[in-house]
């Protein structure tokens, strides 16, 4: 199916699709990862899926021996090689089909958190994208190594507390700005890259369906709330994800064959980064006179990145096909 034929559906259409992930897993209350996985796998529809899952929160909580929450074929990979594993699966399926031993079409999905995507697994991800494997790579980004006790990752926001970027007299949390993994994926010139959030499930499922439909590699980077690491309330997870999107810190956009498209434009920014930072204990120390500059810098960086994204959308619009799939979400 061409991606131009894929449209956002009503919630009922999505709910009626098969659930590839069962209940009973042991991920934390309020965790964004299982919500994201269910939504992404809805994009696979009725097709069987082979999942390569890097070590992390999802792996340890969905595959507690002798139980599994996965209804599809599942491979536990190391932190560094989930994308390489699913690349090998694709190569094996090509060979088996040529031999007539396999006739069924499978969707191929690599799953990792930001530790296994931004950091440890980046080489394997880059190699898989560059070799142009027909796979989907999913990063659920919760902003730290949450599974092993909240250590900093390249996705951790500047100023955030983690156990390896502690707060004290020497430094106010993490010293560096977060890496932009979505743009790194775009730089590989692959057919489809998208950024999404679980609060807008229609947008995420739509993007997952497009990712599975393209011929070649696709990359999805999805914001994944983590109450334990963010030091936030379990009941606030989806609201926090929405606030981070509406402040333009985590914009919803997609890049299809090099053409940028913003999927949600609040027109006038709805809320500042300080609003959702105040709801997360990992940023509590920033709201003091000596550290407020980090909040101000984060706001300036957010505004700059948003304007840059809009400029990229405008600059690449002339390359978009006339029968573009679907317009952006209406501003609220």
Q: Which of 62, 53, 323, 282 is nearest to 172 (CA)?
A: 282
- For residue 148, is pLDDT > 70? yes
Q: Which of 9, 7, 14 is nearest to 45 (CA)?
A: 14
Q: Which of 3, 4, 31, 37 is nearest to 19 (CA)?
A: 37
- For residue 270, is pLDDT > 90? no
Compute CA distances 37 → 19, 64, 175, 291, 321, whole Å: 10, 17, 31, 36, 30
- For residue 323, is pLDDT > 70? no
- pTM, two decimal places: 0.95
- For residue 41, is pLDDT > 70? yes
- For residue 327, is pLDDT > 50? no
Q: Average pLDDT in the 297-311 region?
A: 97
331: left (phi over 0), alpha (psi -120 to 50) or beta: beta
Tokens of 22: 């069962």
Compute CA distances 161 → 77, 164, 175, 278, whole Å: 29, 8, 10, 13
Domains annotated for the chain, with CATH where assigned, are 3-319 (3.40.50.970)
Q: Average pLDDT in the 204-224 region?
A: 98
> Which DSSP letter does residue 145 get?
B
CA 255 to chain centre: 14
In three-state secondary structure terms, 261 is strand
Q: Average pLDDT in the 267-283 region?
A: 94
Q: Are 130 and 188 in contact (CB under 8 A)?
A: yes
How many CA atoms within 13 Å lie on the side-chain side of 199?
18
> pLDDT category, 110, cuts 50, 70, 90?
very high
* Torsion angle defined by CA atoms of residues 52, 152, 161 and 62, in that order, rounded to the nearest 10 degrees: 20
pLDDT tens-digit profile of 2-27?
Answer: 676 899 999 999 999 999 999 999 99
Write down the pLDDT at residue 320. Answer: 87
Is residue 33 packed enough to be buried (19+ CB in 10 Å), middle (13-18) or exposed (0-12)? buried
């Amino acid at each position: 199916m061409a991606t131009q034929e894929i449209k956002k559906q009503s919630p009922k259409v999505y709910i009626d699709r098969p659930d590839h992930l069962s209940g009973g897993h042991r991920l934390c209350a309020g965790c964004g990862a299982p919500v994201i996985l269910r939504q992404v796998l809805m994009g696979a529809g009725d097709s069987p899926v082979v999942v390569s899952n890097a070590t992390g929160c999802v792996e340890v909580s969905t595959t507690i021996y002798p139980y599994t929450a996965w209804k599809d074929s599942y491979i536990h990979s190391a932190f560094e090689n989930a994308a390489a594993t699913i690349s090998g699966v694709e190569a094996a399926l090509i060979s088996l089909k040529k031999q007539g031993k396999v006739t069924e079409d499978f969707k191929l999905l690599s799953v990792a958190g930001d530790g296994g995507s931004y950091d440890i697994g980046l080489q394997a991800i880059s190699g898989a994208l560059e070799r142009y494997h027909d796979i989907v790579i999913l990063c659920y980004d919760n902003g730290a190594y949450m599974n092993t006790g909240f250590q900093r990752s390249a996705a951790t926001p500047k100023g955030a507390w983690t156990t390896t970027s502690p707060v004290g007299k020497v430094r106010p949390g993490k010293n560096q700005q977060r890496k932009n993994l979505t743009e790194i994926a775009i730089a590989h010139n692959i057919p489809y890259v998208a950024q999404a959030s679980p609060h807008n499930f229609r947008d995420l499922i739509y993007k997952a369906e497009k990712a599975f439909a393209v011929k070649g590699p696709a990359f999805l980077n999805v914001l994944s709330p983590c109450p334990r690491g963010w030091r936030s309330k379990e009941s606030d997870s989806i609201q926090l994800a929405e606030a981070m999107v509406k402040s333009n810190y985590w914009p919803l956009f997609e890049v299809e064959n090099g053409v940028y498209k913003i999927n949600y434009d609040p027109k006038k920014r709805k809320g500042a980064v300080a609003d959702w930072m105040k709801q997360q204990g990992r940023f509590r120390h920033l709201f003091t006179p000596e550290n407020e500059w980090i909040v101000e810098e984060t706001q300036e960086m957010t505004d700059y990145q948003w304007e840059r994204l809009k400029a990229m959308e405008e600059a690449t619009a002339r390359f978009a096909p006339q029968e573009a799939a679907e317009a952006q979400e209406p501003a609220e």
